[in-house]
Chain A
Amino acid sequence: MNSKNKKMVLHYMWTAKNVVFMIFMLFLSAGMFAQEKKQVSGTVYDNTGSVLPGATVIEVGTRNATTTDFDGKFSLSVAVGGYIEVSFIGSTTQKVLITAATKPNIDVRLQNDGYMLAEVQVVSVGYGTQKKSDLTGAISSLKSDDLVKGTISSTEQVLQGKVAGLNIIRPSGDPAAGSTIRLRGGTSLTASNSPLIVVDGIAGVDINIVQPSDIKSVDVLKDASATAIYGSRGANGVIIITTKSGTKGVSVTYSGLSSVGYVTDNLDLLSANQWRAYVRSTGNTDAVDYGGNTNWQKALQQTAISQSHTLSINSGKTDSGFRTSLSYLNNEGVIKSTGLERLSGNINAYQYLGDNKEVKFDMGLFANVDKWHPLDYRIFERSYNLNPTIPVYDANGKFSSVSGTLYENPVEILTNRKVDNERHRLLGYFKTEVKFLKDFLAVANISYEHNAVKGSTYKPSYAVLEGITENGYAQKTYTEFANAQGELYVNYNKVIDKHTIGALAGYSYLENIYEGFGAQRSGFVTDAFSYNNLGAGYNYRLGDVYSYKGKSNLVSFYARANYSYDGKYLLTGTVRRDGSSRFGENNKWGTFPSASVAWKVSSEEFMSNTKGWLDNLKFRVGYGVTGNQDGIGEYKSLSILGVGNDSYYDPTTGTWSLAYSPKQNPNPDLKWESTKQLNIGVDFSLFNRITGSFEYYAKNTDDLLYTYEVPQPPYLVGTMLANVGEMSNKGVELTLNADIIKGDKFSWNANLTLGHNVQKIEKLSNPTYKTDVIYSGSLHGLAGMSGQYSQIIAEGYPVGTFWGFESAGLGADGKMLYYNAAGDKVLDTALVDDDKRDLGNIQPDLTMGVGMNFTYGNFDLGVSGYGMFGQKALNATNMMLNDPNRLPTFNVPDDFLGSRITSAPKYSSYWIEDASFFRLQTVSVGYTLPLKYKNSKLRIYLMGENLAVFTSYKGVDPEIGLNAQDGINQTGKLDETGLAAPGIDRYNNYPRPTTISVGLNFTLNN
Chain B
Amino acid sequence: MKIKITAAILISMLFTISCTNLNEDLYDKVEDGNFGNTPKEVDALVGGAYSSLRGFADGISNNYPTSEYVFFLNETVSDEATIPTRGTNWYDGGQYQDAQKHTWKTDNRLILSAWRYNYTGIAKINSILYQVDKSSLTDAAKAPIYAELKALRAYYYYNLLDLFGNVPIVVNFEDTSLPSNSTRKQVYDFVEKELLDAIPHLNSNIVYSKFTKNVAYSLLARLYLNSEAFIGTARWQDCINMCQKVTGYTLTPDFFANFATQNEKSPEIIFAIPYDQKAGTVGNYMNSMSCHYLHKLTISAGGNDYPWSANGMCAQPGVYSAFAETDKRRKCMVAGDQINVATGQVIVMDNGEPLTYTEEVTSVADAKENQGVRLGKYEMKAGEQWERDHDFVLIRYAEILMMQAECYVRMGAADLAKPFIQQITARAGEEMPTTIDLNFIDKELLKEFTFEGRRRTDNIRFGTFFQSWWEKGPTEKYRAIFPIPSTVLTTNKNLVQNPGY
The residue among A466, A718, A771, A883 with the most chain B CB atoms within 10 A of its own CB is A718
CB pair B22–A635 under 8 Å, yes or no, is: no
CB pair A488–B293 under 8 Å, yes or no, is: no
Q: How far is the CB of A474 from chain B (nearest CB, A)?
A: 16
Q: How far is the CB of A510 from chain B (nearest CB, A)?
A: 9
Measured between alpha carbons, how far is A581 from B25 in the docked complex, in Å? Answer: 9
CB pair B28–A785 under 8 Å, yes or no, is: no
The residue of chain A having its C-beta at the shortest distance from the C-beta of B123 within the complex is A716
CB pair B90–A784 under 8 Å, yes or no, is: yes
Given contacts A469-B305, A648-B47, contact A432 B11 (CB under 8 A): yes
Measured between alpha carbons, how far is A535 from B372 in the docked complex, in Å? Answer: 43
CB pair A550–B18 under 8 Å, yes or no, is: no
CB pair A640–B31 under 8 Å, yes or no, is: yes
Given contacts A359-B4, A540-B278, A659-B51, contact A786 B92 (CB under 8 A): yes
Measured between alpha carbons, how far is A449 from B203 in the docked complex, in Å? Answer: 57
CB pair B30–A641 under 8 Å, yes or no, is: yes
- Which of B239-296 touch A at CB < 8 Å? 264, 274, 276-282, 285, 288, 293-294
We find that the number of chain B residues with CB closer than 8 angstroms to chain A is 109
The residue of chain B having its C-beta at the shortest distance from the C-beta of A769 within the complex is B491
The listed residue (A555, A580, A716, A718) touching B60 by CB distance below 8 A is A718
CB pair A464–B31 under 8 Å, yes or no, is: no
Measured between alpha carbons, how far is A579 from B293 in the docked complex, in Å? Answer: 56
CB pair A714–B175 under 8 Å, yes or no, is: yes
User: What residues on A are CB-neighbors of B337 within 8 Å?
Assistant: none
Identify the stretch in B183-191, B348-356, B404-412, B466-474 within 8 Å (CB) of chain A at 4 or more residues: B348-356
Asked whether A268 is an interface residue with its Cβ less than 8 Å from the other chain, the reply is no
CB pair A434–B7 under 8 Å, yes or no, is: yes
Q: How far is the CB of A586 from chain B (nearest CB, A)?
A: 12
CB pair B492–A464 under 8 Å, yes or no, is: no
CB pair A469–B306 under 8 Å, yes or no, is: yes
The listed residue (A354, A647, A712, A771) touching B488 by CB distance below 8 A is A712
CB pair A641–B32 under 8 Å, yes or no, is: yes
Asked whether A970 is an interface residue with its Cβ less than 8 Å from the other chain, the reply is yes
Measured between alpha carbons, how far is A661 from B11 in the docked complex, in Å? Answer: 46
Asked whether A772 is an interface residue with its Cβ less than 8 Å from the other chain, the reply is yes
User: What residues on A are CB-neighbors of B25 within 8 Å?
Assistant: 551
Asked whether A596 is an interface residue with its Cβ less than 8 Å from the other chain, the reply is no
Given contacts A488-B11, A552-B24, contact A718 B279 (CB under 8 A): no
User: What residues on B are CB-neighbors of A713 within 8 Å?
Assistant: 119, 122-123, 168, 170, 179
Interface footprint category on A: 35 or more
CB pair B35–A641 under 8 Å, yes or no, is: yes
CB pair B308–A770 under 8 Å, yes or no, is: no
Given contacts A651-B209, A975-B59, contact A885 B87 (CB under 8 A): yes
The residue of chain A having its C-beta at the shortest distance from the C-beta of B95 within the complex is A787
Measured between alpha carbons, how far is A883 from B288 in the docked complex, in Å? Answer: 26
Q: How far is the CB of A370 from chain B (nearest CB, A)?
A: 27
The residue of chain A having its C-beta at the shortest distance from the C-beta of B130 within the complex is A662
Asked whether B43 is an interface residue with its Cβ less than 8 Å from the other chain, the reply is yes
Asked whether B140 is an interface residue with its Cβ less than 8 Å from the other chain, the reply is no
Given contacts A660-B44, A770-B491, contact A647 B51 (CB under 8 A): yes
Identify the stretch in A48-56, A160-168, A257-265, A397-405 within 8 Å (CB) of chain B at 4 or more residues: A397-405
Asked whether A486 is an interface residue with its Cβ less than 8 Å from the other chain, the reply is yes
Asked whether A594 is an interface residue with its Cβ less than 8 Å from the other chain, the reply is no
Identify the stretch in A86-94, A240-248, A541-549, A835-843 within 8 Å (CB) of chain B at 4 or more residues: A541-549
CB pair B20–A542 under 8 Å, yes or no, is: no
The residue of chain B having its C-beta at the shortest distance from the C-beta of A556 within the complex is B20
Given contacts A581-B24, A651-B209, contact A978 B59 (CB under 8 A): yes
CB pair A645–B282 under 8 Å, yes or no, is: yes
The listed residue (B10, B28, B127, B207) touching A444 by CB distance below 8 A is B10
Given contacts A467-B307, A640-B30, A787-B109, contact A404 B120 (CB under 8 A): no
The listed residue (A353, A555, A771, A783) touching B22 by CB distance below 8 A is A555
For B30-43 the 0/1 string (1 means CB < 8 A from A) is 11110100000101
Asked whether A281 is an interface residue with its Cβ less than 8 Å from the other chain, the reply is no
Measured between alpha carbons, how far is A711 from B21 in the docked complex, in Å? Answer: 35
Q: How far is the CB of B11 from chain A (nearest CB, A)?
A: 5
Asked whether B304 is an interface residue with its Cβ less than 8 Å from the other chain, the reply is yes
Given contacts A446-B14, A658-B47, A886-B88, contact A647 B35 (CB under 8 A): no
Asked whether B233 is an interface residue with its Cβ less than 8 Å from the other chain, the reply is no
CB pair A770–B177 under 8 Å, yes or no, is: no
The residue of chain B having its C-beta at the shortest distance from the C-beta of A433 within the complex is B7
User: What residues on A are CB-neighbors of B276 within 8 Å?
Assistant: 647, 649, 656
CB pair A580–B22 under 8 Å, yes or no, is: yes
User: What residues on A are CB-neighbors of B48 within 8 Å?
Assistant: 646, 648, 659-661
Asked whether B208 is an interface residue with its Cβ less than 8 Å from the other chain, the reply is yes
The residue among B61, B281, B293 with the most chain A CB atoms within 10 A of its own CB is B281
CB pair B93–A648 under 8 Å, yes or no, is: no
User: What residues on A are CB-neighbors of B168 within 8 Å?
Assistant: 713
CB pair A647–B281 under 8 Å, yes or no, is: yes
The listed residue (B19, B22, B279) touching A656 by CB distance below 8 A is B279
Given contacts A354-B3, A550-B28, A553-B22, contact A709 B14 (CB under 8 A): no
- Which of A532-583 touch B at CB < 8 Å? 539-543, 547-553, 555, 579-583
Measured between alpha carbons, how far is A462 from B20 in the docked complex, in Å? Answer: 56
- Which of B202-259 touch A at CB < 8 Å? 207-210
CB pair A651–B208 under 8 Å, yes or no, is: yes
Given contacts A432-B7, A709-B491, A711-B492, contact A468 B93 (CB under 8 A): no
For A701-725 the 0/1 string (1 means CB < 8 A from B) is 0000000111111111111000000
CB pair B92–A579 under 8 Å, yes or no, is: no
Measured between alpha carbons, how far is A656 from B277 in the docked complex, in Å? Answer: 11
Asked whether A40 is an interface residue with its Cβ less than 8 Å from the other chain, the reply is no
For B108-123 the 0/1 string (1 means CB < 8 A from A) is 0100000110011011
Measured between alpha carbons, how far is A886 from B87 in the docked complex, in Å? Answer: 8
CB pair B85–A784 under 8 Å, yes or no, is: yes
Measured between alpha carbons, how far is A657 from B60 in the docked complex, in Å? Answer: 28
User: What residues on B are CB-neighbors of A650 within 8 Å?
Assistant: 47
User: What residues on A are CB-neighbors of B207 within 8 Å?
Assistant: 651-652
CB pair A719–B58 under 8 Å, yes or no, is: yes
Q: How far is the CB of B65 from chain A (nearest CB, A)?
A: 15
Asked whether B135 is an interface residue with its Cβ less than 8 Å from the other chain, the reply is no
CB pair B22–A649 under 8 Å, yes or no, is: no
Measured between alpha carbons, how far is A495 from B445 in the docked complex, in Å? Answer: 95
User: What residues on A are CB-neighbors of B277 within 8 Å?
Assistant: 541
The residue of chain B having its C-beta at the shortest distance from the C-beta of A648 within the complex is B47
Q: How far is the CB of B275 from chain A (nearest CB, A)?
A: 9
User: What residues on A are CB-neighbors of B21 within 8 Å?
Assistant: 553
Asked whether A286 is an interface residue with its Cβ less than 8 Å from the other chain, the reply is yes
Asked whether A588 is an interface residue with its Cβ less than 8 Å from the other chain, the reply is yes
Asked whether A642 is an interface residue with its Cβ less than 8 Å from the other chain, the reply is yes
Q: How far is the CB of B486 from chain A (nearest CB, A)?
A: 10
Given contacts A641-B29, A713-B179, A905-B88, contact A288 B352 (CB under 8 A): yes
Q: How far is the CB of B478 from chain A (nearest CB, A)?
A: 20
User: What residues on A are CB-neighbors of B353 within 8 Å?
Assistant: 286
User: What residues on A are CB-neighbors of B449 within 8 Å?
Assistant: none
The listed residue (B23, B52, B58, B89) touching A784 by CB distance below 8 A is B89
The listed residue (B91, B119, B294) touching A403 by CB distance below 8 A is B294
Q: How far is the CB of A713 from chain B (nearest CB, A)?
A: 4
Q: How far is the CB of B108 from chain A (nearest CB, A)?
A: 9
CB pair B309–A649 under 8 Å, yes or no, is: no
CB pair A432–B116 under 8 Å, yes or no, is: no
Q: A539-B278, A714-B177, A770-B490 are in contact. List 7 more A-B contacts (CB 8 A).
A: A642-B29, A647-B280, A709-B487, A712-B116, A713-B168, A718-B60, A904-B88
Those 7 A-B pairs whose CB atoms lie nearest each other, nearest first: A467-B308, A977-B59, A648-B47, A784-B91, A659-B48, A509-B18, A542-B280
Complex A-B: 29 CB contacts under 8 Å? A359-B3, A434-B4, A446-B14, A464-B303, A464-B308, A469-B307, A509-B17, A541-B278, A550-B27, A551-B27, A635-B24, A635-B26, A640-B29, A641-B31, A646-B51, A649-B208, A649-B274, A651-B209, A652-B207, A658-B47, A709-B491, A712-B488, A770-B491, A771-B491, A784-B89, A880-B88, A886-B88, A975-B59, A979-B59
